[in-house]
Structure 1
Amino acid sequence: MGPSYRTSYQIKQLPPDSNDLEVRVLSPKSTHGSPSTSYPSISRRRRPHSRRAFKWIFAGVLALCFLVFFIRVSSRVKVIHSGHADHDPIDVVAVSLKPSCVTREAVASLNRYLQPRTIHIVTTSIDKCRVFDAFAPNVVCHLQDAFVEGLTIDRVGDFLQRSVGVDQHKQIKGRNLSGWYMQQFIKLGSILALPGLSEYYVIWDLDMVLLSPLQLLWRNGDRTLSSDDGSAAASSAGQIQIQTLVNIGGSVAPGYITSFQHLTTRSLEFAPDGTSFVTHWMVVYKPYLREFLKELSNGDEGHLDWVWRILRAVDPHTADLGFSEYASYISWVRQHYPQSQLLAQRKTWVRHPFGQTTVRMMRLLRADRCCCPSRLMLLLLRAVGFVYTGYEVGHIAECRYDAPEHAESYGL
C-alpha cells in the first residue's frame, strides 16, 4: 500500500445496517407618488415586493426546467432487477484537489447506495486529509506525492514542460495542467500503491453524486442490458463470467483519440451511439489493469514507464484534453476482453443538475454563494430516473471554486 499520512492502514467498516437496499440499474442521455419625487419610506416598502417578485420568477424558471427535463428523460427510463452478480464489498479510489460540499455529498452518496468497504481519497495536504477523514468512518486519505512511489506532481509538470512543450501551470477546469494529468496517473497507479484493494474496485470522480443503488457486476447470461452491437453478450452457453457495468454518454475529444492511437496503434472505442466512455467513474478489474499498465510500460510492470509513455503520446496541440484514463482503459479491455463488459444502453447521468444555469441560480440561495448540492435537486434528478449527477463547480466561473478564500476547502 502506498504511504499515507496515517501510521497504519486500518479499514473502518460501516455498520451493516442496509444490506437490503433495492438494486436499480437504469439503461439509459410604486403605485403612489410622482416618479420624480423621492420617498425613503416608500422605497423601503418596495424592496420586499421586488424580492418576492424575484423569488416567483426564479421558482417559475426552475419549474420550467424540471418539466422539460422530466418530459425528455422519464419516457426513456427502464429499470432492470435481474441478472446481477453477488460479490464481496468493493473499494473506491478517488482523487480530489480539496474537500468541499460536493465531495462530502459524493462520499455520503457512495456509502448510502454503493456501501464500499473503503473509500481511498488522494489529496494534496495533511490538513485536507483531516477534513476528508471526518466525512465517513471508512475514508482513508493519502497524500498525492507519496501515493505512487516516484510519482510527484513536480516530475509530471517538468516532463510536460520539457518533453511535451506545454505550460504545466496552465489552468484547466479548476486545476493546472500538471495536476490534471497527475490525478489520472494516481487513479491508474492505485493498483501499484494499494495492493490490498478488492479484486474489482471503483475509480470515482468526487464531483459526481450517486442518486440510487447501483449494481456494478453482472453475469453474462443476462442479455437484456448488453450493448446494441452484442459485444458484451454471453460467450457460450452455460459459461459463467462476471461482467462489469460500463456507462456511456461521455464527451469526445480529439486528444483522447490521438494518444490512444500512439500508445496502442489501435483506435479508441466508442459506444454504439457515438458517445465516449469518459463518464467520470468506472469499475476496474485488477488483472486487466495490471496487464494494461504492463503493455504501456513495454513489459516493465510496476515501474513508471507507462506514465512517461502516456505523456509522450500527448499531442501538444490538444494537450488540454490529451489523454483519458477512462476512455483508454475501457477501450483496451473492450479490445482484449470484450465479453467482460456490459454497456448501458442509454446515458443515465448529467454533468450538472438541470444545466449550469440552474446551478448558478441555486447558489444565490446560499449566504456564501457557493455552488453546493441541493437535496431538492438530487431528489428531483432521482425521480426522473438519473443514476448519478455531476456537480463540476470548477467548470462554472460564477461558483468561484478557485477563489483565494476557498484555497483549502469549498462550501464547508
Structure 2
Amino acid sequence: MFPMPRLMTAEDVALHICEVKVAGRACKWITAGVFTLCLVGYILHISSHVNVLHSQQLDYEPIDVVAVSLKPSCVTREAIASLNRYLQPRAIHIITTSSDKCSIFSLFADNVVCHLQDKFLDGVTVDLVGDFLQRRLGLDQHKRFKGRDLSGWYMQQFLKLGSVLALPGLSIYYVVWDLDMILLSPVQLVWRDRELPGGGLAGMSASVGQTQTLVNIGGSVAPGYMASFQRLTKHGLEFAPDGTSFVTHWMVIYKPYLLEFLRELSNDGDGPTDWVWRILGAVEPRYADLGFSEYASYISWVRQHYPQSQRLASRKTWVRHPFGQRTVSLLRLLRTDRCCCPNGMLLWLLRLLGLVYTGYEVGHIPECRYDASEHAMSYGL
C-alpha cells in the first residue's frame, strides 16, 4: 500500500501563494535589473564609440556635409541634429529653393551654410533642366515624383555632384547626405593606411598612403540607372555582392575622384557643366522616373577605376522607413498638425536593433501630405 498524500491545508495554500507572489516579484525585479544593466551597457558602449571616432576625426581634416532639400521640416531638423551629434561635421551645406527657406534652415544649427539652387551651378537652373526634359526627351517636366517635379528630382542630383565645383573649399573627403535620412549612431567614414588590416583589402596590397572610404549597400535596383550609366561610360553598373545597389541615400566623396568622373562625363566638352546635359541626354525616356542615380553612378565609377579605395559595409545597416510606411503614417495621429515627424521611441528601437541610420521619407507617403499647400514653406515645424 502506498501512503496517502497529505492534503494541503488552507495554511499550506496561503503559504504557497505567498511564495509564488514573492518569486514573481523577485523575477520582475531581476528582469528589470538585467534590462537596466543592458541599457546602461549599451549607452556606455555608444558613448565610448562616439569618443573613439571623434578622437580619430581630430587626427585628420574635418569633414563637411552637402545636402539638398526642397524645404525645411521636422525631418530635416532631426537629420541635421543627428549629423552634428554623431558625425560632428565642420559645415553642413544645404541647397534649397528660396532665401526664406534658407533663413529657417540656418536656425537649425550654427554650422549650417545655405545656398540657393538656381545660383549654385553656373548655367544650370531647374527651369533649364525641365526644358531639356520636355524638348529633348518628350517628358512632362512637372510630373510629380517623390515630392518634387521630375525636373527638380534630376536637379537635386546635379546639385550634389556639382558641389565639388561650386564649393571649392569643401574638405578633401566630404559627405553627400539626403536630409530625409537620420543618423542613429557613430559611423567611421574613412580608413587610413595604418588602420587597414594587413595594409589593405583582403587579397590585395594597398599602395603607400592608401585610404578607403565607406560604401553602404542595400539599395534598390532600377533599370533606368543601369541604362544611363551604360550609355555614359560604356560600362555596366556595379552592385554589392548580395545583388543590391549603392543607392543608399548618402555617400563619402573624394574630391579628386569626383572631379575626374565629371570630366569624363563631360566628354572633353569646354563648359564646366557639360556633364549635366550629357547625363540628361543619356536618360532612357521610358525609365525617366528613375533614369539616373548620382549614388550608383559615382560609386560604380570609382569601383571600376580605384577599387582599393572603397570598403563595402558588411551588411545593410539602414531602413527607408522605421517599421514601415504604415507605422510612420499612423504616428502622425499623435500630433495636432497631423504631420509625419520623427518619433523618439522609434529611433531608439532602431538603435537597439543595431541600425546605423534610417529614412523618414515622408514625401513618399500620401497620408503625410508633404505636398499640401499649407506646407509649401515648411513641414511639421
TM-score, L = length of structure 2? 0.83
Q: Which amino acid aligns with 2:173?
A: Y
Question: C-alpha displacement at 1:222, in angstroms?
Answer: 5.8
* Residue of structure 1 equivalent to 2:72: 99
Q: Which amino acid aligns with 1:115?
A: Q
CA contact under 8 A between 1:249 and 1:276: conserved in structure 2? yes
Q: Which amino acid aligns with 1:394?
A: G
Q: In the TM superposition, what whole-angstrom CA distance separates every residue of 1:347-378 from its partner, at most 9, and x where no partner exists?
A: 00000011111101111111111000011111
2:105 paired with 1:132: yes
2:346 paired with 1:377: yes
* Residue of structure 2 equivalent to 1:336: 305
* Residue of structure 1 equivalent to 2:359: 390
Note the residue ranges of structure 2 that are not aligned, 5 or more in a row.
1-48
Q: Which amino acid aligns with 2:228?
A: S
CA contact under 8 A between 1:223 and 1:234: conserved in structure 2? no
SS in 1 for 2:240: coil
Where do 1:86-235 residues align within 5 Å? 86-219=59-192, 232-233=201-202, 235=204
Question: C-alpha displacement at 1:123, in angstroms?
Answer: 0.3
Q: Which amino acid aligns with 2:61?
A: D
Where do 1:359-378 residues align within 5 Å? 359-378=328-347
Distance 1:225 1:350 in 2: 32
Which residue of 233, 236, 242 corresponds with 1:264? 233
Q: In the TM superposition, what whole-angstrom CA distance separates every residue of 1:49-84 from its partner, at most 9, and x where no partner exists?
A: xxxxxxxxxxxxxxxxxxxxxxxxxxxxxxx989x7
Distance 1:220 1:270 in 2: 25
* Residue of structure 1 equivalent to 2:370: 401
Distance 1:275 1:161 in 2: 32
CA contact under 8 A between 1:102 and 1:373: conserved in structure 2? yes
For the pair shown, which has the larger CA radius of gyration, 1 or 2? Answer: 2
Q: Which amino acid aligns with 2:247?
A: V
Which residue of 267, 270, 274 corresponds with 1:305? 274
Relative CO higher for 1 or 2, CA cutoff 8 Å, sep ≥ 6?
1
SS in 2 for 1:192: helix
SS in 2 for 1:166: coil
Note the residue ranges of structure 1 that are not aligned, 5 or more in a row.
1-79
* Residue of structure 2 equivalent to 1:19: none
Distance 1:119 1:295 in 2: 28
Q: Which amino acid aligns with 1:250?
A: G
2:290 paired with 1:321: yes
Question: C-alpha displacement at 1:304, in angstroms?
Answer: 1.4
Distance 1:346 1:337 in 2: 22
Question: C-alpha displacement at 1:300, in angstroms?
Answer: 3.6
Where do 1:348-367 residues align within 5 Å? 348-367=317-336
2:315 paired with 1:346: yes
Question: C-alpha displacement at 1:224, in angstroms?
Answer: 6.8
Distance 2:270 2:232 in 1: 16
Distance 2:245 2:198 in 1: 18
Distance 1:362 1:354 in 2: 11
Distance 1:339 1:301 in 2: 31
* Residue of structure 2 equivalent to 1:22: none
Question: C-alpha displacement at 1:237, in angstroms?
Answer: 6.5
**Change in CA separation of 1:99 and 1:234 when aligned onto 2, cut-off 3 Å:** farther
Question: C-alpha displacement at 1:240, in angstroms?
Answer: 3.5
2:244 paired with 1:275: yes
Question: C-alpha displacement at 1:221, in angstroms?
Answer: 6.4
Identity rate of aligned residues, in percent? 74
CA contact under 8 A between 1:297 and 1:309: conserved in structure 2? yes
TM-score, L = length of structure 1? 0.77
* Residue of structure 2 equivalent to 1:9: none
Question: C-alpha displacement at 1:225, in angstroms?
Answer: 12
CA-atom RMSD, angstroms? Answer: 2.1
CA contact under 8 A between 2:75 and 2:342: conserved in structure 1? yes
Question: C-alpha displacement at 1:256, in angstroms?
Answer: 0.1
SS in 1 for 2:67: strand
Task: Give the number of the structure whose residues are more often helix, by fraction.
Answer: 2
Distance 2:122 2:209 in 1: 37
**Change in CA separation of 1:223 and 1:197 when aligned onto 2, cut-off 3 Å:** closer
Question: C-alpha displacement at 1:218, in angstroms?
Answer: 1.1
SS in 2 for 1:294: helix
**Change in CA separation of 1:237 and 1:406 when aligned onto 2, cut-off 3 Å:** closer
Distance 2:270 2:375 in 1: 39
SS in 1 for 2:213: strand
Q: In the TM superposition, what whole-angstrom CA distance separates every residue of 1:208-267 from its partner, at most 9, and x where no partner exists?
A: 0000111100135666799xxx9x547426833110000000000000000000000000
Q: In the TM superposition, what whole-angstrom CA distance separates every residue of 1:174-220 from its partner, at most 9, and x where no partner exists?
A: 00100000000000000111000000000000000000111100135
Which residue of 269, 273, 293 corresponds with 2:262? 293
Distance 2:198 2:184 in 1: 20
Which residue of 231, 244, 251 corresponds with 2:220? 251
SS in 1 for 2:182: strand
SS in 2 for 1:245: strand
Q: Which amino acid aligns with 2:284?
A: D
SS in 2 for 1:389: strand
CA contact under 8 A between 2:206 and 2:308: conserved in structure 1? no
After TM superposition, the structure 1 stretch with the greater mean CA deviation from structure 2, 114-123 or 213-222, is: 213-222
**Change in CA separation of 1:104 and 1:299 when aligned onto 2, cut-off 3 Å:** same
Q: Which amino acid aligns with 1:402?
A: D
Question: C-alpha displacement at 1:302, in angstroms?
Answer: 5.9
SS in 1 for 2:340: coil
Q: How many residues align?
A: 329
Distance 1:118 1:233 in 2: 34
